Amino acid sequence: MKILKFFLIIIIVFYFTPSNANDYELENKITKNLRCLVCQGQSVYDSDSEFAISLKLVVSNKIKEGLSEDQIYNFLIEKYGDWILYDPQFNKYTYLLWFLPLLIFLFGGTIIFKKLIRLK
């Protein structure tokens, strides 16, 4: 009976640990994508400033409340603007940022392709 109880506890512990680990991973993922607005060139994840410490806590609380990654980003964008994200979301202000490299790449590719055809 004791052995059964022991295994039951082990199972419960292992059952709940992955969800905490996932939350922790998600928190790290989010805070790595957040700019520490009072530091120079540091993410919230890397910074130990008062602002970053509080922000990490807010992110952790929001995850516990059940908010998704995007919902947390939207919440923070509403407070601090797009600048808080290192990886900006796709919207009317950032579409050029997303598409310009692709356009330049296609353009360069066309030049190379044309040159190759001419050489043949």
Partner 1 sequence: MINKTFSFLFVISLVFIFFIFYKGLNKSSLYEPKNEIKNIPKFSALTFFEKKKINSENFFEQNEYYLINIWASWCLPCREEHPLLLRLRDNDKLKLIGLNYKDNFESAKKFLNKLGNPYEKILLDEDGTKAIEWGAFGVPETFLIYQNKIVLKFIGPLNEKSFDKIEKIIK
Q: Which stretch binds partner 1 (CB under 8 A): 11-19, 23-31, 87-95, 98-106?
A: 98-106
Q: How far is the CB of 75 from partner 1 (least distance, A)?
A: 9
Binder to partner 1 among 12, 16, 57, 98 (CB under 8 A)?
Answer: 57
Per CB under 8 A, 114 contacts partner 1: yes
Alpha-carbon span 111 to 120, nearest angstrom: 15
Q: Is 83 a binder of partner 1 (CB under 8 A)?
A: yes
- For 68, list phi and psi in degrees, rounded to 5: -80, 170
How many Cα atoms are found within 13 Å in the side-chain-facing hemisphere of 95? 2
